[in-house]
Structure 1
């Protein structure tokens, strides 16, 4: 004879009439969907969020208004992963010409500027680890960011960070042939870091991981473009600051204008490097 498990703990501690099976990752109490705040892993309850903010930098909470955030599944994140993996599989087909059609080669920037972004969907056919690591990182951080930011902001963050990585390569290593999503990925991670800091969350562990990955780019023989990493990192952090600055505004026009200004700055740097320097 068995005894039925005690279900008394399966109710939200703030709303005793609401059943839930989700626990706060910090205190372990049961919280219902309306009391949950998405964290890097799992969710946090309102009291733990308030405590983190009280003990951290005195800044306004993030993110954007609920009415402007995405609901449901992180469709953009999954689409980016599926598209990148599909293109990688096409690259493996001998004679497909996919790599040659999309790869970023700085001398072609003036005549085929779209390569500065399309190269982010390519990876070295000889390194499944490269595409696997990048897509795993996107899977982890993309799902966390896309919902609160909204799909339009997230896709803008990803693509503009990819552009920022290519611009950095053009400025610092103009003779390099670069492919990979690392610039875009670093932009997403940088945005996640900046947003967490504004929430008052201690994310020094993430900072250590970012620094280690940046340092790896300087190790001879690894063939890692640290220039793309730095470019994506700076661009992603800048866009996160734009999103944070405009989060309580009733009009999206100033936010769109600031994002357009970031893009215009990247284009200006590209033109200066091509036609002046």
Structure 2
């Protein structure tokens, strides 16, 4: 007996005697995909491909089509803010920079500025990491963006987007916490705290992967020396970012595989909470 012909589920005008071995829907030659047994429709093949385990980075993140996209976006944001500074002048430095101070006005009343002014100004602990000096030549932003590309891009490949972004932002907050604790009355700006967090993380992962650590350690030592010898550089922000980034990287690099996600994000959350608590204590000291 001849097999009864039916219409393809995607092309009703085409008759076929073949069905998908997975969903049993009739498929024409255009819709057929060879399988180990028989043929499958393109939808079933697509679902199977999506269900497969995706490749992961060293830290367990998802491998992205553009593995350095976040680094590019961060550099773009910093440059965009810098161009806005050139347009608006010192006003942007005052509005986005990090500082906390209190004093008395002519009437004897206490007046607080910066983060000490109140919750509405706490945005500064993060926005200060995207503001740079307007000096010419623009060495501040140029050096930071080159460092962000050289250090950040390889690190983003290792971590994946979400872990890398968390490392960067929480390192910036850790740097701000150190500034508020040790030098709250100085208007502090720049991405250096976050970049020092990337330095610390790079050292941890080079150690974890058993790479030659001498180049990154030499570069880190040079940057630490510059932090303490060059005038106008916030060594407090550098130190805070370095400590925060290093602690996060330890959790990212050495988390046990069976609890990796929990330990990694738990470490990020712990450093984030610690940074907020230290910042709050520092501001309370300023306002007391």
> When the two structures are superposed, what TM-score results if normalisation uses the length of structure 2?
0.69
How far is 1:270 from its partner? 1.5
CA distance, structure 2, for counterparts of residue 96 and residue 124 of structure 1 = 9
Instruction: Tell me which residue corresponds to 2:232.
Output: 223
**Aligned position for 2:34:** none
Counterpart residue number, 1:88: 82
Change (3 A) 1:96 1:105: closer
Counterparts in 2 of 1:57-136, with a 5 A limit? Answer: 63-65=58-60, 68-94=62-88, 97-107=91-101, 108-110=114-116, 111=118, 112-127=121-136, 128-136=138-146
- Describe the shift of the 1:179–1:261 C-alpha distance in structure 2 as closer, same or farther (beyond 3 A): same
Verify the 8 A CA contact 2:144 2:192 in the aligned structure 1: yes
CA contact (8 A) 2:71 2:153 kept: yes
In the alignment, which residue of structure 1 is the partner of 2:174? 164
Structure 1: gaps of 5 or more residues: 1-61
SS in 2 for 1:218: helix
Query: C-alpha distance in 1, partners of 2:229/2:90?
Result: 32
Q: CA deviation at 1:79?
A: 0.3
Q: Which residue of structure 1 lines up, in the alignment, with residue 255 of structure 2?
A: 246
* Structure 2 portions without partners, runs of 5+: 1-56, 102-113
Q: TM-score, normalised by structure 1?
A: 0.72
Q: Partners of 1:133 and 1:242 in 2: how far apart?
A: 29
How many residue pairs match? The answer is: 214
CA distance in 2, matches of 1:206, 1:218: 19
Give, in whole Å, the separation in 2 of the partners of 1:270 and 1:261. 14
Verify: 1:198 aligned to 2:208, yes or no: yes
CA positional deviation for 1:204: 1.5
Q: Any conservation in 2 of the 1:168–1:231 contact (CA below 8 Å)?
A: yes
Q: 2:242 aligns with which of 208, 233, 246?
A: 233
Give the number of the structure whose residues are more often strand, by fraction. 2
> What SS does the corresponding residue of 2:257 show, helix, strand or coil?
coil
Provide, for residues 110-167 of structure 1, a one-character-per-residue CA deviation record: whole Å limited to 9, x for no partner. 4211201111100001141110110011111111011221111111111111111111
Larger radius of gyration: 2
CA-based RMSD:
2.0
